[in-house]
Amino acid sequence: MKKNRLASFLLLAGLLAGLVFPLSAGATETQPVQTPAPSAAPSSVPQQQSALLASMHIEGTAALLVDDDTGEVLYEQNAHGKVYPASITKVMTCLLTLESIARGEHQLDEVVTVGDQVNYGIGADGSTAGIKAGEQLTIHDLLGAALIPSANEACNAMAQLVAGDVEKFVDLMNQRAQELGMNDTHFANPHGYHDPDHYTSAYDIYLMAHEAMKDPTFRELVSSVDYKIPATNLSEARTLHSTNGLVSTWRVRDYWYEYATGIKTGSTPEAGHCLVSSATKNDRNLIAVVMGAANYTENKDVNYFTESKRLLEFGFNNFSRQTILDGSSLDFPEVSVTLSKTDYVTVRPAGSLSATLPNDIDPAAFQRELDLPESVEAPVEEGQVLGTVTLTYNGQEYGKVDLVANSSVERSELLYRLDRIQKFFDQLWVRIVLVVLAVLLVFLFLRHLITGRKRSRYGGSRARGGRGSSRYSGRRRR
């Protein structure tokens, strides 16, 4: 009977341990992590490139076309390839000068005396406005001389004024380039005279020009046909003419573009002929970059003006703003809801998404990459962000929009409390405590059994001893 009692207890302890130890084992067992996978692209989505884009090619080493209102790249050709900026460098020099004015360090109409580094790093064939060391003129005049006739010495004068030294100013140029994200760029001088260590990319030129075009003085100057500097202490009055054939017909004819608003030319034997241009048409603003174009085509066309104008017209005529995701769309998977009597909630985009696209691309051809959980816990509030949808086409991302709950879902208090109890017992420390208690119970019970057996044996021996003494005593009394 005692052996049966011990066996029954051990079986009971084993069952108790069996209830506890699987929980503990489950805490260390590797479980598959379920992460929301992007939705597969429908088979109907066309994977070919736009025929319009494929047909476009610019005669130059690099080119770029950007919707300046949105920052979207519409066309690129070796956009991050290394090129020499030549006089397009002057955009950065003028940007830094205008920023020093915005900080209150200088004033636009401030009269300055040109420093002794006015001809720093300039060769004999550099473009000039005849500005001399010791000449007194306004900062606005220096800006006009740098941006309109592309005067190299005006850039040195501004550099020395802003930083006290041309080389220190170059350091500021490189620092500002990094701040603008111009990762393909290194400047060696303020004017663009050729230096092997003075380089950039078409994309970086756009970043620089975009920032500079935010300043109204810069925009006014780069769109000007000419600029007049009044007489100074060292010179008679001068009229300076723009080098940009899209803006002015003074230097070259037949390239004037009625929608052009700037920006800057550049040319050296090493860089070729370069132009960063801007235009506004029907309230749309584009910036085009053409680098390393030949000076003349076989038809004696001034190539960088022709190609820039062609690129701008390509953008205006063949691209339009299109909606690629409607904010009211409910065409998305339902998300399961736990801890509620409602099984799921529908989602919708938090807003619409538009893009400037070639006219031969159907917005319905975009792929939707979803990032949604398989389930969420109630309560869920209407408008609560549950995930995101990313719109792509041919691997290019066009934007990301939050996906929000389309309705509210209440929580079931009963299901919630049952879930809290389950989660409480799922905690590792709770499992450990249960295991310890089980072991302690087994130990105490075994100890009780062992102690009981010892007491039983001891009591039995005394009883048998007592009866024997009684018999022996009875015999002696007889």
pLDDT the model gives residue 124: 82
Q: How far apart are CA 128 and CA 13, in angstroms?
A: 99
Is the CATH number of domain 60-319 3.30.70.520?
no
Residue ranges per domain, the chain? Answer: 1-28+417-454, 60-319, 326-411
pLDDT the model gives residue 297: 63
pLDDT the model gives residue 341: 87
pLDDT the model gives residue 461: 52
Average of per-residue pLDDT across 102-106: 98
pLDDT the model gives residue 80: 98
pLDDT at 35 over 50: no
Q: Which of 207-216, 258-267, 432-441, 469-478 has the lowest average pLDDT? A: 469-478
pLDDT at 220 over 50: yes
Average of per-residue pLDDT across 86-111: 98
pLDDT tens-digit map of 40-96: 332 222 334 689 999 999 999 999 999 999 999 999 999 999 999 999 999 999 999
Q: What is the 3-state secondary structure (H, E, C) of the chain?
A: CHHHHHHHHHHHHHHHHHHHHHHHHHHHCCCCCCCCCCCCCCCCCCCCCCHHHHHCCCCCCEEEEEECCCCEEEEEECCCCCECCHHHHHHHHHHHHHHHHHCCCCCCCCEEECCCCCCCCCCCCCCCCCCCCCCEEEHHHHHHHHHCCCCHHHHHHHHHHHHCCHHHHHHHHHHHHHHCCCCCCECCCCCCCCCCCCEECHHHHHHHHHHHCCCHHHHHHHCCCEEEECCCCCCCCEEEECCCCCCCCCCCCCCCCCCEEEEEEEEECCCEEEEEEEEEECCEEEEEEEEEECCECCCCCEHHHHHHHHHHHHHHHHEEEEEEECCCCCCCCCEEEECCCCCEECEEECCCEEEEEECCCCHHHCEEEEECCCEEECCECCCCEEEEEEEEECCEEEEEEEEEECCCECCCHHHHHHHHHHHHHHCHHHHHHHHHHHHHHHHHHHHHHHHHHHHHHHHHHHHHHHHHHHHHHHHHHC
pLDDT at 357 over 50: yes
pLDDT the model gives residue 299: 65
pLDDT tens-digit map of 276-289: 999 999 999 999 99
Average of per-residue pLDDT across 208-218: 98
CATH class assigned to 326-411: mainly beta
Average of per-residue pLDDT across 153-177: 98
Average of per-residue pLDDT across 209-214: 98
Q: Which of 35-39, 206-210, 301-305 has the lowest average pLDDT? A: 35-39
User: Which comes out higher in pLDDT, residue 327 or 183?
Assistant: 183
pLDDT at 130 over 90: yes
User: Which comes out higher in pLDDT, residue 11 or 132?
Assistant: 132
Beta bridge partners of 282: none
User: Which comes out higher in pLDDT, residue 457 or 90?
Assistant: 90
pLDDT the model gives residue 125: 82
Average of per-residue pLDDT across 219-233: 98
pLDDT at 177 over 60: yes
pLDDT at 11 over 80: no
pLDDT the model gives residue 48: 43
Average of per-residue pLDDT across 294-321: 88
pLDDT at 18 over 80: no
pLDDT the model gives residue 428: 85
In this structure, are residues 345 and 409 in contact, taking their beta carbons and an 8 Å threshold? yes
pLDDT at 37 over 80: no
pLDDT tens-digit map of 416-442: 677 677 777 778 887 888 888 888 888
pLDDT at 463 over 90: no
pLDDT at 31 over 70: no
pLDDT the model gives residue 34: 30
